[in-house]
Amino acid sequence: MSQHPKPLIAGNWKMNGMRANLSELGIMGAHFTPELRKITDLMICPPFPVLGLAAEMARGTGIHIGAQDCHEKYSGAHTGDVSANMIFDAGATAVIVGHSERRIDHKERDTTIASKAQAAMDVGLQAIVCIGETKTERDAGRAISVVRRQLKASVPAQADPQKLVIAYEPVWAIGTSLTPTNADILEVHAAIRADLKRVFGKTAGSEVRILYGGSVKPNNAREILALDHVNGALVGGASLKAADFMAIATALA
Ligand code: PGA
């Protein structure tokens, strides 16, 4: 992995995390040393009920707090939804949009995801846009074309590249302990990078972080993070415990 752009290791807690679990965030903060801060950015994306509390706990530790989804509008009659400006107001600096679990569970489409990403950027949040193929698509040799199509449709037309992060997460690798080969990860990330450069220009397109996600663990982090065009990781299961998450972060050192 090149050290530029600065890597980001982001933890997606999904629907896990009570107030008591924030003690793990405290431990992560205590181990996020000034030396490590120079090497990587760290982020935890907890569920909404503890978002504000997590942001308060993380203050001064250097750990960023992100949300896992947002609505594309800022207010109104949308029972149960949370807007990007509410997330910003709670002290978060980022939001994940288009995670495959949202695409599947809530039937989210690329156009909605692009609107969510734009809403996030408009209030000053980083938008972590998730894309990735299913097993059937990979087996059919369509991984690259699917990912490129999702990238084109899920990144808003007016996107600010400085507020954009792409997470390549093969659906079949999430929570399964399966990962693509290094060559496959490299191939997809290189294709994403080429498209980002085409859209945003060479310089801005090279600055957008492309994270890999899907069964990143302490034992495979080093080799995955060493790949070209891999600028960090989006980590699910292994982000719940400080020991695992910090082992992934220190794999960069
Ligand atoms: P996993 O999840 O690390 O548990 O596979 C990754 C994700 O869904 O972001």
Q: Which among 45, 234, 239, 240 is the best mutation to test ligand 1's pocket, defined by most ligand atoms within 8 Å of the CB?
A: 234
Flag whether pLDDT at 2 surpasses 70. Answer: no
Instruction: Compute, in angstroms, the gap from residue 2 CA to the centroid of ligand 1.
Output: 23
Residue 193 lies in a domain: no
Instruction: Compute, in angstroms, the gap from residue 161 CA to the centroid of ligand 1.
Output: 24
| pLDDT digit string, tens, across residues 200-213 | 999 999 999 999 99
Residue 78 lies in a domain: yes
Q: Would you list the DSSP string of 173-191?
A: GTTSS----HHHHHHHHHH
- pTM for this predicted structure: 0.97
**Of these residues, 99, 108, 133, 137, which one is catalytic?**
99
Flag whether pLDDT at 181 surpasses 60. Answer: yes
Residue 195 lies in a domain: no
Mean pLDDT across the stretch 71-81?
97
Residue 194 lies in a domain: no
Instruction: Compute, in angstroms, the gap from residue 171 CA to the centroid of ligand 1.
Output: 9
| pLDDT digit string, tens, across residues 16-69 | 999 999 999 999 999 999 999 999 999 999 999 999 999 999 999 999 999 999
Residue 89 lies in a domain: yes
- CA-nearest of 188, 57, 65, 200 to 125 is 65
| pLDDT digit string, tens, across residues 106-131 | 999 999 999 999 999 999 999 999 99
What is the total count of domains within the chain? 1
Q: Using alpha carbons only, what angle is made at residue 242 by residues 239 and 247, rounded to the nearest 5 degrees?
A: 80
Both tokens of residue 212? 């890999």
At what angle are helices 22-31 and 51-58 packed, to 10 degrees? 20
Residue 155 lies in a domain: yes
| pLDDT digit string, tens, across residues 135-173 | 999 999 999 999 999 999 999 999 999 999 999 999 999
Residue 2 lies in a domain: no
Residues flanking ligand 1, CB < 6 Å = 12, 169, 174-175, 213-216, 234-238
| pLDDT digit string, tens, across residues 212-240 | 999 999 999 999 999 999 999 999 999 99
Domain that holds residue 54: 8-188+200-252
Residue 3 lies in a domain: no
Flag whether pLDDT at 246 surpasses 50. Answer: yes
CATH label of the domain that carries residue 123 = 3.20.20.70
Q: Look up 169 and say whether it is catalytic.
A: yes
- pLDDT of 3 reads 61
- pLDDT of 1 reads 47
- pLDDT of 87 reads 98
Q: Cα 114 to chain center, whole Å?
A: 15
Residue 253 confidence class, pLDDT cut points 50, 70, 90: confident
* CA 50/CA 62 separation, integer angstroms: 18
